Amino acid sequence: MLARAVAKYVRMSPRKARYVMAPLRRRTVAEVLGWLAATNRRAGKPLTKAIASAFANAKQRDPTLGEDQVVISRLTADGGPVWKRFRAAAFGRAMAIRKPTTHITVELDRKVEARKQKSEVRSQKVVAKKV
Protein backbone atom coordinates (compact mmCIF):
# COMPACT_ATOMS: atom_id res chain seq x y z
CA MET A 1 0.00 0.00 0.00
CA LEU A 2 1.40 3.33 -1.07
CA ALA A 3 -1.25 5.65 0.42
CA ARG A 4 -4.68 5.60 1.99
CA ALA A 5 -7.59 7.99 2.47
CA VAL A 6 -10.90 7.60 4.30
CA ALA A 7 -14.01 9.75 3.77
CA LYS A 8 -16.28 9.21 6.77
CA TYR A 9 -19.95 9.96 7.33
CA VAL A 10 -20.80 10.53 3.65
CA ARG A 11 -24.59 11.01 3.49
CA MET A 12 -25.37 8.22 1.06
CA SER A 13 -26.18 4.55 1.31
CA PRO A 14 -23.20 2.21 0.90
CA ARG A 15 -25.08 0.27 -1.77
CA LYS A 16 -25.34 3.30 -4.03
CA ALA A 17 -21.67 4.13 -3.53
CA ARG A 18 -20.64 0.53 -4.31
CA TYR A 19 -22.57 0.69 -7.56
CA VAL A 20 -20.25 3.46 -8.79
CA MET A 21 -17.12 1.83 -7.29
CA ALA A 22 -17.43 -1.52 -9.07
CA PRO A 23 -15.72 -0.57 -12.38
CA LEU A 24 -13.03 1.57 -10.70
CA ARG A 25 -10.95 -1.09 -8.96
CA ARG A 26 -7.48 -1.89 -10.32
CA ARG A 27 -7.45 1.13 -12.66
CA THR A 28 -5.06 4.07 -12.69
CA VAL A 29 -5.97 7.24 -10.82
CA ALA A 30 -5.96 9.23 -14.09
CA GLU A 31 -8.51 6.85 -15.67
CA VAL A 32 -10.73 6.86 -12.59
CA LEU A 33 -10.79 10.64 -12.15
CA GLY A 34 -11.69 11.07 -15.82
CA TRP A 35 -14.44 8.48 -15.56
CA LEU A 36 -15.86 10.03 -12.38
CA ALA A 37 -15.90 13.50 -13.96
CA ALA A 38 -18.09 12.13 -16.75
CA THR A 39 -20.44 10.06 -14.59
CA ASN A 40 -23.86 11.34 -13.68
CA ARG A 41 -24.15 9.61 -10.29
CA ARG A 42 -24.28 11.40 -6.95
CA ALA A 43 -21.58 9.12 -5.51
CA GLY A 44 -19.10 10.52 -8.02
CA LYS A 45 -18.29 13.66 -6.04
CA PRO A 46 -17.34 12.08 -2.68
CA LEU A 47 -15.45 9.31 -4.50
CA THR A 48 -13.49 11.88 -6.50
CA LYS A 49 -12.58 13.73 -3.32
CA ALA A 50 -11.46 10.55 -1.55
CA ILE A 51 -9.34 9.35 -4.49
CA ALA A 52 -7.79 12.80 -4.95
CA SER A 53 -6.98 12.87 -1.23
CA ALA A 54 -5.34 9.43 -1.39
CA PHE A 55 -3.29 10.54 -4.39
CA ALA A 56 -2.24 13.70 -2.55
CA ASN A 57 -1.11 11.49 0.35
CA ALA A 58 0.90 9.38 -2.10
CA LYS A 59 2.50 12.53 -3.56
CA GLN A 60 3.58 13.50 -0.04
CA ARG A 61 5.64 10.31 0.15
CA ASP A 62 6.98 10.42 -3.42
CA PRO A 63 6.63 13.79 -5.23
CA THR A 64 7.72 12.27 -8.57
CA LEU A 65 4.57 10.13 -8.88
CA GLY A 66 2.14 10.72 -11.72
CA GLU A 67 -1.55 9.87 -11.83
CA ASP A 68 -0.89 7.20 -14.46
CA GLN A 69 1.70 5.41 -12.25
CA VAL A 70 -0.70 4.71 -9.38
CA VAL A 71 -3.59 2.21 -9.32
CA ILE A 72 -6.47 1.77 -6.91
CA SER A 73 -5.69 -1.44 -5.04
CA ARG A 74 -8.61 -1.33 -2.60
CA LEU A 75 -11.86 0.61 -2.70
CA THR A 76 -14.60 -0.05 -0.15
CA ALA A 77 -17.83 1.51 1.05
CA ASP A 78 -18.71 0.44 4.57
CA GLY A 79 -21.88 1.39 6.37
CA GLY A 80 -21.67 4.18 8.91
CA PRO A 81 -24.21 5.18 11.52
CA VAL A 82 -27.81 5.59 10.38
CA TRP A 83 -29.64 8.78 11.26
CA LYS A 84 -33.14 7.95 12.46
CA ARG A 85 -35.96 10.43 12.01
CA PHE A 86 -39.74 10.16 12.28
CA ARG A 87 -42.49 11.60 10.13
CA ALA A 88 -46.12 12.01 11.01
CA ALA A 89 -48.47 9.49 9.42
CA ALA A 90 -52.22 8.99 9.36
CA PHE A 91 -54.21 8.16 12.51
CA GLY A 92 -51.56 9.60 14.85
CA ARG A 93 -48.86 7.13 13.90
CA ALA A 94 -45.22 7.84 13.11
CA MET A 95 -43.26 6.46 10.15
CA ALA A 96 -39.52 5.90 10.47
CA ILE A 97 -37.12 7.60 8.09
CA ARG A 98 -33.61 6.12 7.88
CA LYS A 99 -30.78 8.29 6.58
CA PRO A 100 -27.74 6.03 6.01
CA THR A 101 -24.12 7.17 5.98
CA THR A 102 -21.06 5.62 4.37
CA HIS A 103 -17.36 5.37 5.12
CA ILE A 104 -15.37 5.30 1.85
CA THR A 105 -11.84 3.84 2.01
CA VAL A 106 -9.33 4.19 -0.84
CA GLU A 107 -5.92 2.49 -0.94
CA LEU A 108 -3.42 3.15 -3.71
CA ASP A 109 -0.46 1.15 -4.94
CA ARG A 110 2.19 1.56 -7.62
CA LYS A 111 1.19 0.21 -11.01
CA VAL A 112 4.14 -2.22 -11.28
CA GLU A 113 3.69 -3.58 -7.75
CA ALA A 114 0.00 -4.26 -8.38
CA ARG A 115 0.85 -6.36 -11.43
CA LYS A 116 3.51 -8.30 -9.52
CA GLN A 117 1.06 -9.05 -6.71
CA LYS A 118 -1.52 -10.28 -9.21
CA SER A 119 0.96 -12.63 -10.85
CA GLU A 120 2.12 -13.90 -7.44
CA VAL A 121 -1.47 -14.66 -6.41
CA ARG A 122 -2.10 -16.46 -9.70
CA SER A 123 1.06 -18.54 -9.33
CA GLN A 124 0.06 -19.45 -5.77
CA LYS A 125 -3.34 -20.61 -7.04
CA VAL A 126 -1.69 -22.76 -9.71
CA VAL A 127 0.66 -24.33 -7.14
CA ALA A 128 -2.26 -24.97 -4.78
CA LYS A 129 -4.23 -26.73 -7.54
CA LYS A 130 -1.29 -29.00 -8.39
CA VAL A 131 -0.86 -30.10 -4.78
Q: What is the DSSP code (8-state) at residue 25?
A: T
Do residues 54 and 65 lie in contact, with contact meaning Cβ atoms separated by under 8 Å? no
Stretch 82-100: mean pLDDT: 97
Q: What is the model's pTM?
A: 0.81
Whole-number Å distance between alpha carbons of 117 and 111: 10
What domains sit in the chain, N to C, each tagged with a CATH number? 3-130 (3.90.470.10)
Give 72: exposed, middle or buried? Use CB within 10 Å, 0-12, 13-18, 19+.
buried
**Nearest partner of 10 among 70, 99, 126, judged by Cα:** 99
Residue 114: pLDDT above 50? Answer: no
Tens of pLDDT, residue by residue over 40-67, are 999 999 999 999 999 999 999 999 999 9
Predicted local confidence at residue 111, as pLDDT: 87
